[in-house]
């Protein structure tokens, strides 16, 4: 092997070691035929991470929960989201088919920020919700966020010593994709419809490099099989391209569920010394063509869903909640189980 050819395996091994310090999640986007676009993600966490589904209509007045410098807005689009601990929107889709997913990224470094200072700001707990409230496409989102009119500010997850470090992926009904990361205090945007897969560490540039290496090895012969983020990235990238390209919704959904489950970690698998090995708690699958949002709680035997065509997203519509945090068991179309509710309070800064 020539010296220069030895460099990448060394970097690959180093990168894989880095990934052992993070918590795993996976996100993948499927493009079928005739406008069939489906986005799936898994939520993996070492402990319980209670989730509820929420319906947010248009016209909600929001503030950035980052002190007196917080930005303010009124939601332009309605959405269905999955909350974490009812303090943040961690996943969701709006009525235009724009999907957002927050995943952990330990390398995240947000801009320097002074609470109640002069710089306009937005708490990280609202980052995804801000996007779903205001934009209909990936291109529109990128155009707005690259202006850097405000900073994203983070803090500790309430009641813990865990500082929230996440990156954001978005996809739309056309199949476009973008990933937003804060590296060394600066916003880095990766915008390309081919960016269909994302996991946790390393940063997205390095994920692409690792995947390029594995593309030289036929997936039918060997794929990396551990729960590490880099390995899950490779498997998700391979399988989302290998499954049938179809416009049959039933077949496409079954295939995408198979991919995201392949990248999940069985319940009960965890390690204090290897936090990358964290059980999958729940999964979502968003059908962006037909506007149906699916939720799969691993502690329940049934997948549930919500059809947007049946939801009143108008400003006269009601904020509604489907309680799932106590592993309530529903099946199939669960819109009728949503109950009118006061909105949860997004986490602010320490």
| Residues annotated as catalytic (active site), given as ranges | 25
Q: Both tokens of residue 159?
A: 């009641």
Q: Both tokens of residue 250?
A: 């039933």
Q: What is the rounded CA–CA span in Å between residue 344 and residue 224? A: 40
DSSP-derived secondary structure letter, 337: G
3-class SS of residue 16 = helix
Q: Both tokens of residue 24?
A: 């795993």
DSSP string, 86-147: TTEEEEEEETTS-EEEEEE-TT--PPP--TTSSS-EEEGGGHHHHHHHH-SSHHHHHHHHTT
> 258 vs 40, 170, 261, 283, CA distance in Å?
10, 21, 5, 11
Q: What is the CA radius of gyration of the chain?
A: 19
If we measure between CA atoms, which residue out of 140, 135, 58 comes closest to residue 308? 58
For CA atoms 327, 328, 330, 334, give the dihedral sign: negative
Name the strand (E) or helix (H) holding 4: helix 3-18
Q: Where do we find the tokens 């729960």?
A: 227
Backbone angles phi, psi at 188, to 5 degrees: -115, 125
């Amino acid at each position: 092997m020539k010296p220069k050819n030895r460099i990448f395996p060394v970097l690959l091994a180093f990168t894989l070691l880095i990934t052992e310090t993070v918590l795993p999640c996976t996100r993948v986007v499927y493009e079928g035929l005739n406008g069939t676009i489906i986005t799936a993600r898994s939520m993996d966490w070492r402990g319980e991470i209670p989730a509820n589904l929420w319906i947010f209509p248009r016209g909600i007045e929001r503030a950035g929960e980052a002190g007196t410098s917080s930005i303010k807005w009124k939601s332009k689009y309605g959405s269905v989201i999955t909350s974490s601990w009812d303090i943040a929107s961690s996943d969701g889709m709006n009525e235009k088919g724009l999907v957002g997913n927050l995943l952990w990224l330990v390398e995240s470094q947000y801009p320097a920020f002074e609470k109640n200072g002069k710089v306009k700001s937005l708490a990280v707990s609202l980052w995804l919700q801000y996007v779903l409230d205001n934009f209909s496409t990936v291109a529109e989102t990128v155009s707005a966020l690259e202006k850097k009119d405000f900073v994203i500010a983070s803090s500790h997850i309430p009641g813990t010593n865990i500082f929230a470090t996440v990156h954001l992926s978005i996809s739309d009904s056309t199949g476009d994709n973008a990933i937003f990361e804060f590296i060394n205090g600066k916003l880095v945007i990766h915008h390309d419809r081919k960016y269909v897969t994302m996991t946790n560490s390393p940063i997205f540039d390095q994920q692409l490099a690792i995947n390029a290496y594995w593309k030289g090895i036929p997936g039918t012969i060997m794929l990396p099989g551990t729960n590490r983020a880099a390995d899950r990235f490779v498997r998700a990238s391979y399988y989302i391209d290998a499954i049938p390209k179809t416009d049959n919704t039933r077949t496409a959904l079954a295939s995408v569920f198979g991919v995201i489950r392949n990248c999940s970690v069985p319940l009960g698998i965890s390690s204090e010394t290897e936090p990358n090995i964290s059980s999958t708690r729940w999964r979502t699958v968003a059908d962006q063509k037909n506007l149906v949002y699916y939720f799969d709680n691993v502690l329940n035997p049934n997948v549930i869903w919500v059809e947007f065509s049946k939801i009143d997203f108008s400003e006269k519509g009601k904020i509604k909640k489907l309680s799932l945090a106590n592993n309530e068991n529903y099946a199939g179309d669960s819109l009728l189980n949503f109950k009118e509710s006061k909105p949860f309070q997004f986490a602010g800064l320490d």
